[in-house]
Structure 1
Amino acid sequence: MAKLQDNYYFKSFIKLGQFSVEAATFLKEILQNYDRRTLVADVQAMHKIEHSADLAQHEVMEKLAKEFITPIEREDIIAICQRIDDVTDAIEDVLFRLYMYNVQKLRSDYNEFSDIIIEACKALKLAIMEFPYFKKSRSIEPHIIEVNRLEEVGDKIYIDAVRRLFIEEENPVELIIWEQIYHRFEKCSDAIEDVADAIETVIMKNR
């Protein structure tokens, strides 16, 4: 039997995880150089990353439909693929909100959100890279714990940002817009943790 690290599905998890890292990094670049006049082009470029991730996921599903024997349960492969794809979708959705609401200027705390998303995506990718070795690896659990820790940090950033928003902002439209944008940022952290939880579930089932 082929080693798990050489298995198509585990390689595909890593590929999908890399798309999430790329999306998070690109979002950070857009926010650092924010210009609403380039948002259409930025949205299109982000969608290319998201679409590539979708194509990679569909490829996995097509192969899985024809496969008789899989390295882990079929439903676990589907769940992990879908949840990694959810991360990329959630990151893209942040940019969609900025575009749809025609945001003129960013609030100062965007930096904290984008940094934590990149950090969490990178920690998740490390966990995914260790996933093929889960039966013996001592490294995968610390990566999963780190993802969980970063999600908690993300929660605190979200709570503090929303509180600050309602203290500082008097324009009701801006309140609605930014509460929604902050919520989308927070959903990115939740989506990343969901992948780590799915991986941890597979580990517990197969040890």
Structure 2
Amino acid sequence: MANKKNDFYWNNYISAADTACLAADYLLECLREFNIGQMDEILPKMHEFEHKGDSLRHEMTEMLAKSFVTPIDREDMAELCQRLDHVIDCIEEVLQVIYINNVASITEEAISFAEKICSCTAKMKAMLTELPHFRKSEQLHNLIIDVNAAEEECDTLYLNAAYNYRKNWDGKNPLDVIAWREIYSMLEECADACEDVADTVEAVVMKNT
């Protein structure tokens, strides 16, 4: 029974990471084929991923509440669950910010940023797939580093994208500059959230090996 319960925990994390990957892929699809007239359809579909993430978090919380023994500290497991849920929340918020600011078209930098977010979530999923073997894994450390490296790439992209949009705005509406700074910041937050997951995994490994 204990092993089955452990499988539940690890599979829950992997499912949450997979949901984040699907949300990131959908974000990229929406930005590549952006149509402001379809936002009434786009937002509810993205919210389905967020709802799935919430459901996985609730399932984890319920299991942690009733389990006497957990594979790692209960608090660490809960924190990792929350951080995974935050990744999905951030991805949804990118589209929400675009909608709130009534953005009519998407920049190439935003599409490149979304591609990087897909890379971040994919690396995060690979890391969490390896997490059940953390006590003897030879790959997990490098997978953690991969997520951190992807986040650093996003930091650079954020700085360049925000600066270039401000520099080349050519007298456009100042509200557009503010809007895109907010959008780029939200995209960066997605990458930061993935790194937070990696940092939590790294802390778990250090405490339990």
What TM-score results when the alignment is normalised by the length of structure 1? 0.97
Structure 1 counterpart of 2:60, one-letter code: V
Query: What CA distance in whole angstroms lies between the structure 1 residues aligned with 2:100 and 2:166?
Result: 22
- 1:83-119 CA-partner distances (Å, limit 9, x unpaired): 0000000000000011111111112211210111000
Query: What CA distance in whole angstroms lies between the structure 2 residues aligned with 1:166 and 1:101?
Result: 16
Q: Quick check: 1:4–1:71 contact (8 Å CA) kept in 2?
A: no
Structure 1 counterpart of 2:178, one-letter code: I
Partner residue, 1:202: 204
Partner residue, 2:179: 177
Q: 1:7: Cα distance to partner?
A: 2.1
3-state SS of 2:186 partner = helix
Q: Quick check: 1:30–1:42 contact (8 Å CA) kept in 2?
A: yes
Mind listing any 5+ residue stretches in structure 2 that lack a counterpart? none
- 1:136-188 CA-partner distances (Å, limit 9, x unpaired): 00111111101000111000000000110110113211111000000000000
Query: What CA distance in whole angstroms lies between the structure 2 residues aligned with 1:6 and 1:88?
Result: 23
Q: 1:9: Cα distance to partner?
A: 0.7
Structure 2 counterpart of 1:114, one-letter code: A
Q: How many residues align?
A: 207
3-state SS of 1:109 partner = helix
Query: What CA distance in whole angstroms lies between the structure 2 residues aligned with 1:138 and 1:17?
Result: 21
Q: 1:5: Cα distance to partner?
A: 9.7
Structure 2 counterpart of 1:203, one-letter code: V
Query: Larger deviation: 56-65 or 189-198?
Result: 56-65
Partner residue, 1:137: 137
Partner residue, 2:58: 58
Partner residue, 2:109: 109
Mind listing any 5+ residue stretches in structure 1 that lack a counterpart? none
Partner residue, 1:49: 49
Query: What CA distance in whole angstroms lies between the structure 2 residues aligned with 1:135 and 1:72?
Result: 11
Identity %: 37
Q: 1:13: Cα distance to partner?
A: 0.5
Query: What CA distance in whole angstroms lies between the structure 2 residues aligned with 1:108 and 1:133?
Result: 39
Distance 1:46 1:99, change over 3 A: same
Partner residue, 2:83: 83
3-state SS of 2:108 partner = coil
Q: How does 1:123-134 map to 2 (within 5 A)?
A: 123-134=123-134
Query: What CA distance in whole angstroms lies between the structure 2 residues aligned with 1:97 and 1:39?
Result: 12
3-state SS of 2:104 partner = coil
- 1:10-41 CA-partner distances (Å, limit 9, x unpaired): 11110111110010000011111100000111
Query: What CA distance in whole angstroms lies between the structure 2 residues aligned with 1:156 and 1:115?
Result: 14
Q: 1:3: Cα distance to partner?
A: 4.9
Partner residue, 2:153: 153
What TM-score results when the alignment is normalised by the length of structure 2? 0.96
Q: How does 1:6-17 map to 2 (within 5 A)?
A: 7-17=7-17
